[in-house]
């Protein structure tokens, strides 16, 4: 076999390359990888003479077509794979995961490659409730969480692959796998963070309540599954791959700490990650029964897999230490401002830092013409959303006029997020059954925020029917971001920037965070931040007025769940003001009744916390303190 493996310098791809070399020594192996921050040529160094390594982007048609010469089988791993980073830099995710996959399919077809296997993820199915035994199967409808751009882009790619199969009849298969662990895993991922932090005596961060469940599979078992699919998988079929090993993150943290021989007090709870899906679990019956796949490490001997992984990270510090310093460069839409993303080991989160990138290894991807690609991207995404909606009983029972209205809202970029949110709504909420949608009231889009009031008919257990309404945003509930801006001058933290505002339901001044809703769907966080700083604080980071030292996610907040489905993200931003820059805003510590932006002195923070009743501010400040972002 002449096999081309894309993404073979990444975590799972490289494990697959080693597996294939050992299992099929006569085959010719080519690896195509653009060596993003996640790709590492060092991983393949020991075998570089036995394979052909091509450095290149899967979107570069020329390189792809050249790489496909004399190839009969293509296994496609290349992807942007980290959910946390997708928030900062969504367009790179679309570029690689969606457009890159299409480019590979088209070039493979042209080159007469007769076998194509696409690697996907279980995240395309969304999340399962914690208190159930349900598992994903090949029949589970696609329902990626609207705020999980990684999952959305993988779902989109799968759809493109399946459509391509329908159109061309090329011999294509897909596998959707659960969370992998094993050697060569980038130290930003959960299990390596635990081990690497323990090695360096740094506390192990556990996100949120630690109850989120992932189904863990060893990369070796993933490789044997792909091998079998390549040999015996049926064209056009999807195979779910998992080792029946669903475990809570809390369990994993405790187990790894225990197997490492450390004390349980090394675990530290920190605020939740962005878009931390509740539970994934895979039913792998199809690949087991149809292809005879047998994973080596399952629930019963999971400890062995973990022990082996701990030992690997202990013995291969030369491999992972340099990766901790890696910086993934990103740019805003105008390409006029850049920042890099790196890992914060104490919170296990990605940190966003403005400044010079010393690391020449960082790649700066070309930005997409987003307007043009938006329509293409969202047509596929739209189909998934409408399919999900149509599978809901409450939607089927809704009046035709409302269904038509929803479909129209779905093709409007300003309201697509709302429809996407509707499509993931449950049939039952609490003890009440959702019967149907009865009315949609629209806010005034010209105000800049497209708000929608949605009315459902619901029924209680005792059969009482009533109307339930809630407010939503056009871009979806998770589209907003609020920033706790901490001001630093000459090395000292001096102020916190807040917005004094009268809130409609009650009146009276509250102290809110700055930031808010994005201007359009999938706007990058970098764009929202720079926009918000210049609009609210009247600070231009481009002019050197200030630099963002770091930005850390403080998780999500449901401010007033019930009345709205508002579920935005909170971030802290440490902003260094140049020596003589005084933002043109109010300074002071007086509880005055005038609206506007205020810089509140840090010495009087205690006073503000004790008198303020604004949930964004209070959540952000308490998380910032508990996560050691600031201390009082
Ligand atoms: P990874 O981030 O470790 O590796 C991805 C590799 O792809 C890197 O080597 C990177 O340099 C390369 N790459 C990225 N963009 C590229 C581009 N435009 N052109 C060429 N190469 C590019 O990811 P991983 O964890 O090894 O995941 C591999 C695949 O498996 C992905 O498709 C992912 O969606 C899927 N998957 C991963 C998991 C998991 O637990 N990690 C679970 C299920 C599915």
**Nearest CA, atom 14, ligand 1:** 79
Cβ–ligand 1 distance for 57 under 6 Å, the answer yes
Cβ–ligand 1 distance for 161 under 6 Å, the answer no
Rounded Cα–Cα distance for residues 46 and 468 (Å)? 62
Cβ–ligand 1 distance for 124 under 6 Å, the answer no
Q: Average pLDDT, stretch 311-323?
A: 95
384-390 contacts, C-beta under 8 A, 24 or more apart? 384/142, 384/143, 384/144, 384/155, 384/156, 384/159, 385/410, 385/416, 385/419, 385/420, 385/423, 386/410, 386/423, 387/141, 387/142, 388/141, 388/142, 388/143, 388/423, 388/424, 389/419, 389/422, 389/423
Q: How confident is the model at residue 103 (pLDDT cuts 50, 70, 90)?
A: very high
How many angstroms does the Cα of residue 80 sit away from the middle of ligand 1?
A: 6
Specify the higher pLDDT residue, 32 or 383: 32
Tell me how crowded residue 354 is: count the other CB atoms within 10 A of its CB: 21
Which atom of ligand 1 is nearest to 57's Cα?
Answer: 19
Q: For residue 71, give every residue at least 6 positions away whose Cβ sits within 8 Å of its Cβ, in sequence order, or none.
A: 2, 3, 4, 30, 111, 113
How many angstroms does the Cα of residue 132 sit away from the middle of ligand 1?
A: 30
**Nearest CA, atom 42, ligand 1:** 179
Which atom of ligand 1 is nearest to 36's Cα?
Answer: 11
Cβ–ligand 1 distance for 101 under 6 Å, the answer no
pLDDT above 60 for 179? yes
Ligand 1 pocket test, candidate residues 5, 6, 7, most atoms within 8 A of CB: 7
DSSP 564: B
| CA nearest neighbour of 119 among 136, 97, 141 | 97
Rounded Cα–Cα distance for residues 303 and 297 (Å)? 9
Q: For residue 122, give every residue at least 6 positions away whose Cβ sits within 8 Å of its Cβ, in sequence order, or none.
A: 136, 176, 177, 178, 215, 240, 242, 280, 282
Residue 129 to residues 213, 273, 278, 281, Cα–Cα distance (Å): 10, 18, 6, 10
Cβ–ligand 1 distance for 226 under 6 Å, the answer no
Which residue is catalytic, options 122, 156, 221, 512?
Answer: 122
**Nearest CA, atom 1, ligand 1:** 10
Rounded Cα–Cα distance for residues 463 and 51 (Å)? 67
Which residue is catalytic, options 37, 142, 150, 260?
Answer: 150
Cβ–ligand 1 distance for 78 under 6 Å, the answer yes
Which residue is catalytic, options 33, 57, 84, 123?
Answer: 123
**Nearest CA, atom 15, ligand 1:** 79
Cβ–ligand 1 distance for 73 under 6 Å, the answer no
Annotation marks residue 127 as catalytic: no
How many angstroms does the Cα of residue 538 sit away from the middle of ligand 1?
A: 39
- Superfamily (CATH) of domain 2-181+218-244+280-298: NAD(P)-binding Rossmann-like Domain (3.40.50.720)
Q: How confident is the model at residue 579 (pLDDT cuts 50, 70, 90)?
A: confident
Side-chain-side CA neighbours of 156 within 13 Å: the count stands at: 28
Specify the higher pLDDT residue, 202 or 478: 202
How many angstroms does the Cα of residue 114 sit away from the middle of ligand 1?
A: 23
Annotation marks residue 150 as catalytic: yes
Residue 361 to residues 93, 355, 457, Cα–Cα distance (Å): 19, 16, 56
Domain boundaries, the chain: 2-181+218-244+280-298, 392-473, 481-626
pLDDT above 60 for 370? no
Give tens-digit pLDDT for 384-394: 888 889 999 99
Q: Which residues of 393-431 are buried (b: 16+ CB within 10 A; e: fewer)?
A: ebbeebeeebbebbeebbeeebbbbbbbbbbbbeeeeee
pLDDT above 70 for 365? no
Share of the chain above pLDDT 70, in %: 93
Annotation marks residue 239 as catalytic: no
pLDDT above 60 for 182? yes
Task: Name the burial class of residue 594, with classes exposed (0-12), middle (13-18) and buried (19+) by CB atoms within 10 angstroms of its CB.
Answer: exposed
Which atom of ligand 1 is nearest to 15's Cα?
Answer: 26
pLDDT above 80 for 451? yes
Ligand 1 pocket test, candidate residues 8, 11, 66, 76, most atoms within 8 A of CB: 11
Which atom of ligand 1 is nearest to 39's Cα?
Answer: 9
How many angstroms does the Cα of residue 10 sit away from the middle of ligand 1?
A: 6
Rounded Cα–Cα distance for residues 252 and 236 (Å)? 35
DSSP string, 171-186: -EEEEEE-EEESTT--
pLDDT above 80 for 484? yes
Which atom of ligand 1 is nearest to 35's Cα?
Answer: 11
Tell me how crowded residue 353 is: count the other CB atoms within 10 A of its CB: 17
Cβ–ligand 1 distance for 218 under 6 Å, the answer no
**Nearest CA, atom 13, ligand 1:** 78
- Superfamily (CATH) of domain 481-626: Nucleoside Triphosphate Pyrophosphohydrolase (3.90.79.10)
**Nearest CA, atom 43, ligand 1:** 121
Cβ–ligand 1 distance for 14 under 6 Å, the answer no
Cβ–ligand 1 distance for 10 under 6 Å, the answer yes
Cβ–ligand 1 distance for 96 under 6 Å, the answer yes
Q: What is the pLDDT of residue 590?
A: 78
Cβ–ligand 1 distance for 205 under 6 Å, the answer no
Specify the higher pLDDT residue, 368 or 76: 76
Specify the higher pLDDT residue, 224 or 534: 224
| CA nearest neighbour of 471 among 452, 494, 445, 444 | 452
Q: What is the pLDDT of residue 582?
A: 75
Side by side, which strands form the sheet with 115-121?
52-55, 28-33, 2-6, 73-76, 115-121, 172-177, 238-241
Q: What is the pLDDT of residue 529?
A: 87
| CA nearest neighbour of 219 among 324, 153, 158, 296 | 296
In contact, 141 and 126? CB cutoff 8 Å: no
Which pair of tokens denotes residue 75? 């296994």
In the block, which residue shows the tokens 């005792």? 462
Tell me how crowded residue 464 is: count the other CB atoms within 10 A of its CB: 9
Q: What is the pLDDT of residue 378?
A: 67
Task: Name the burial class of residue 632, with classes exposed (0-12), middle (13-18) and buried (19+) by CB atoms within 10 angstroms of its CB.
Answer: exposed
């Amino acid at each position: 076999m002449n096999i081309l493996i894309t993404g073979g310098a990444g975590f799972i791809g490289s494990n697959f390359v080693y597996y294939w070399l050992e299992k099929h020594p006569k085959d010719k192996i080519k690896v195509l990888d653009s060596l993003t921050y996640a790709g590492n040529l060092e991983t393949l160094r020991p075998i570089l003479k036995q394979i052909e390594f091509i450095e290149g982007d899967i979107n570069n048609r020329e390189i792809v077509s050249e790489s496909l010469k004399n190839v009969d089988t293509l296994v496609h791993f290349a992807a942007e794979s980290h959910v946390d980073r997708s928030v900062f830099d969504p367009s790179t995710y679309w570029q690689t995961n969606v457009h890159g996959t299409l480019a590979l399919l088209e070039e493979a077809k042209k080159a007469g490659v007769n076998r194509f296997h696409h690697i996907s993820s279980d995240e395309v199915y969304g999340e399962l409730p914690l208190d159930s035994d349900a598992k994903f199967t090949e029949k589970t409808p696609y329902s990626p969480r609207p705020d999980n751009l990684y999952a959305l882009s993988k779902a989109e790619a799968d759809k493109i692959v399946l459509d391509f199969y329908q159109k061309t009849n090329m011999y294509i298969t897909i596998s959707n796998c659960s969370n992998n662990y094993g050697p060569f895993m980038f130290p930003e991922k959960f299990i390596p963070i635990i081990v690497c932090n323990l090695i360096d005596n740094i506390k192990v961060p556990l996100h949120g309540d630690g109850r989120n469940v992932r189904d863990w599979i060893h990369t070796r078992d993933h490789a044997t599954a792909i091998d079998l699919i390549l040999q015996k998988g049926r064209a056009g079929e999807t195979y779910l791959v998992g080792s029946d090993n669903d475990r809570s993150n809390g369990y994993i943290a405790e187990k790894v700490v225990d197997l490492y021989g450390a004390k349980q007090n090394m675990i530290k709870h920190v605020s939740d990650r962005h878009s931390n899906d509740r539970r994934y679990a895979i039913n792998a019956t199809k690949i087991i029964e149809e292809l005879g796949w047998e994973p080596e490490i399952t629930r019963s001997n999971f400890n062995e897999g973990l022990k082996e992984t701990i030992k690997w990270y202990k013995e291969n510090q030369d491999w992972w230490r340099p990766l901790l310093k890696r910086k993934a460069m990103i740019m805003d839409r105008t390409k006029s401002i850049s920042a890099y993303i790196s890992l914060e080991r104490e919170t296990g989160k990605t940190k966003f830092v403005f400044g010079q990138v010393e690391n020449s290894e960082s790649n700066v991807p070309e930005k997409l013409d987003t307007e043009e690609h938006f329509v293409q991207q969202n047509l596929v995404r739209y189909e998934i959303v409408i399919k999900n909606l149509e599978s809901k009983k409450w939607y089927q029972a809704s009046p035709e006029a409302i269904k038509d209205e929803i479909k129209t809202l779905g093709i409007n970029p300003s309201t697509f997020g709302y429809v996407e949110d509707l499509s993931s709504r449950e049939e039952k909420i609490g003890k009440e059954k959702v019967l149907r949608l009865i009315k949609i009231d629209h806010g005034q889009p010209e105000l800049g925020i497209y708000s929608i009031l949605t009315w459902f008919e619901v029924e209680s257990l005792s059969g009482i029917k009533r109307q339930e309404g809630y407010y939503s945003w056009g871009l979806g509930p998770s589209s907003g971001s609020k920033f706790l801006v901490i001001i630093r001058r000459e090395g000292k933290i001096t102020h916190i920037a807040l917005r004094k505002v009268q809130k409609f339901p009650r009146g009276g001044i509250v102290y809110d965070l700055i930031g808010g809703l994005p201007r359009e769907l999938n706007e990058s966080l970098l764009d929202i931040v720079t926009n918000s700083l210049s609009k609210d604080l009247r600070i231009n980071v481009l002019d050197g007025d200030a630099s963002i030292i770091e930005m850390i996610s403080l998780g999500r907040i449901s401010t007033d769940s019930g009345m709205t489905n508002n579920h935005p993200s909170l971030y802290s931003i440490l902003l260094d003001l140049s020596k003589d820059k005084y933002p043109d805003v109010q300074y002071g510590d007086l509880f005055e009744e005038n609206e506007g932006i205020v810089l509140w002195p840090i010495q009087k923070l205690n006073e503000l916390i004790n008198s303020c009743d604004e949930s964004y501010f209070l959540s952000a400040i308490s998380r910032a303190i508990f996560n050691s972002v600031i201390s009082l």
